[in-house]
């Protein structure tokens, strides 16, 4: 839910996407780095986003894509509300050949497993790195 305009102003689009069979996952309410939140704010970010999406889609929200990354405190707290968490890390591998990597990890609390992989791709112009 990092894009408040879509979530807040057009919830019917989220409902329609869910009705088409796509899973809708959380991305928190305000896109904060959860590692820096106090306990109260962390729970608010996780619960409010989940409840909003469940109200809109009328389906259980199982997963979260962390807006930044996570630490053990965030994992422990998140596991109370979600079945799994997901994060990505973009890495510029070789700028001269316009190659980048996306490293991702998925933590599934049901099986207590972390899946990690790295995907490499060529960057096609125009590209912007910030």
**pTM for the full model?**
0.68
* Cross-strand partners of 64: 26, 85
Q: Give all domains of the chain, ordered by start, each with its CATH number.
A: 4-122 (3.20.20.370)
Cα 124 to Cα 130: distance, rounded to the nearest angstrom: 16
Burial 89-104 (b: 16+ CB within 10 A, else e): eeeeeeeeeeebeeee
pLDDT (tens digit, 9 = 90+) per residue, 59-84? 999 988 888 878 889 888 988 999 88
Burial 16-29 (b: 16+ CB within 10 A, else e): eebeeeeebbbbbb
Average pLDDT of span 19-42:
92
pLDDT (tens digit, 9 = 90+) per residue, 82-129? 988 877 665 545 444 444 445 556 666 566 666 665 554 444 444 444
């Amino acid at each position: 839910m990092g894009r408040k305009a879509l979530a807040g102003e057009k919830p019917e689009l989220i409902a329609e996407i869910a009705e088409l069979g796509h899973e809708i996952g959380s991305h928190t309410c305000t896109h904060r780095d959860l590692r820096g939140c106090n306990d109260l704010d962390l729970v608010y970010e996780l619960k409010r986003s989940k409840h909003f999406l469940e109200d809109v889609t009328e389906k259980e929200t199982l997963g979260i894509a962390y807006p930044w990354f996570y630490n053990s405190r965030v994992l422990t707290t998140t596991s109370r509300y979600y079945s799994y968490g997901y994060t990505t890390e973009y890495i510029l591998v070789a700028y001269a050949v316009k190659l980048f990597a996306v490293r991702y990890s998925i933590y599934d609390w049901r099986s207590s497993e972390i899946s990690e992989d790295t995907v490499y791709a060529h960057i096609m112009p125009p590209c912007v790195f910030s």
